[in-house]
Amino acid sequence: MPWTVTLRESVIEDLRYFGRKVGRLILKETRKRLTADPLAKTGQMRTLRPNPVAQRELRLFGKYRVLFNVDAPGHAVDMVLVGEKRGDALIVQGKEFVAHHESDSTQ
């Protein structure tokens, strides 16, 4: 049974930030991988440490990251955000995203 992939409204804005060509490429590859098996443990897909944002991460093309949640009983995947990894920082819509870190220094 294939998985259903949904996008949050903010994900559409995240993808638009990368431009039409790259945004569509990221979305196409993400849907392809997540509809197949979002629970796979590969070098590109992993479970994150507990955090308030997402359960899992998909790495694409070396620098893009897709954070998502999985509802296994319902065979549903919810894409939470899309960003670009630059060093140790995750950049979402041009700004560093830190809400997914356990030890947020701003708290």
Which CATH number covers residue 18?
3.30.2310.20
Answer whether residue 32 is part of any domain: yes
Q: What pLDDT score does 100 carry? A: 61
**Number of compact structural domains in the chain:** 1
Cβ–Cβ under 8 Å, residues 7 and 30: no
Answer whether residue 9 is part of any domain: yes
Domain span including residue 47:
4-97
9-60 tens-digit pLDDT: 999 999 999 999 999 999 999 999 999 999 999 999 999 998 899 999 999 9
pLDDT of 90 strictly over 50: yes
Answer whether residue 19 is part of any domain: yes
Answer whether residue 82 is part of any domain: yes
- Residue 2: which pLDDT band, with cuts at 50, 70 and 90? confident
Answer whether residue 107 is part of any domain: no
The pTM of the full predicted model, rounded to 2 decimals, is: 0.88
Answer whether residue 87 is part of any domain: yes
pLDDT of 105 strictly over 50: no
